[in-house]
Amino acid sequence: MSSFWYERYGAKIYVYGKEPNVFFAEQIEHLNTGKLILPCEGEGRNAVYAATKGWEVEAFDLSVAGKSKALQLAGKTKIDISYIIEDAIKVSYPKNEADIVAFIYAHFPTEIRTIIHKKAISWLKPGGKIILEAFHPLQLKNKSGGPKDLDLLYTTDMILQDFLELETEMIQNVQTDLREGKLHEGKAEVIRYVGIKKK
């Protein structure tokens, strides 16, 4: 899998663009800054954006090429982000320290999805938030990006079950128009979720 992402992010262009995901940017806009963890952060667009807003950013991904482009983008923006190469199953962060963990198109197969989401909850401090945007199974009929494997797509029931111990602030199935580089472009069916760790 890491070779797939190395090849994808090895392109000169930023295949998902340099601008942040719209939902992610909207969600952090009015929050007090703090520590943010970004799994599967790819080329760094969300990490760099958040850092410019004053967030302490911790990001990880499997792709060395993705990390290289993320650090280049951060350098051009003259900000710092922490970015490590690690598998989501193996990665470790301190418990009860993060203010936000944001899964932006971080798709995992069923057998590991619940494990990773549970780990993310443990990283959050009480009152911290999970922010998630991911493709819904209806996305299979569209050509605007995302996995073509049904096992990698998420329903509202799956997300609510994974984050059962959180207080749901919002969950929506949304038809949106993506403008995120050449690989996320056009009509898309997505899930948007925000959950809060109970104090």
What are the backbone angles phi and psi of residue 154, rounded to the nearest 5°? Answer: -115, 140
Q: What per-residue confidence (pLDDT) applies to 182?
A: 86
The domains located in the chain, with CATH, are 2-197 (3.40.50.150)
103 within 8 A of 148, measured Cβ to Cβ: no
Q: What per-residue confidence (pLDDT) applies to 4?
A: 65
β-partners of residue 8 are none
88 within 8 A of 39, measured Cβ to Cβ: yes
Q: What per-residue confidence (pLDDT) applies to 9?
A: 76
Q: What per-residue confidence (pLDDT) applies to 3?
A: 60
Question: What does the block give as tokens for 115?
Answer: 């494990």
Q: What per-residue confidence (pLDDT) applies to 6?
A: 47
135 within 8 A of 189, measured Cβ to Cβ: yes
Mean pLDDT in runs of 10 for the chain (199 residues)? Answer: 62 87 96 97 96 97 92 94 96 97 96 96 98 97 94 97 98 96 92 97
Question: What does the block give as tokens for 108?
Answer: 């995992």
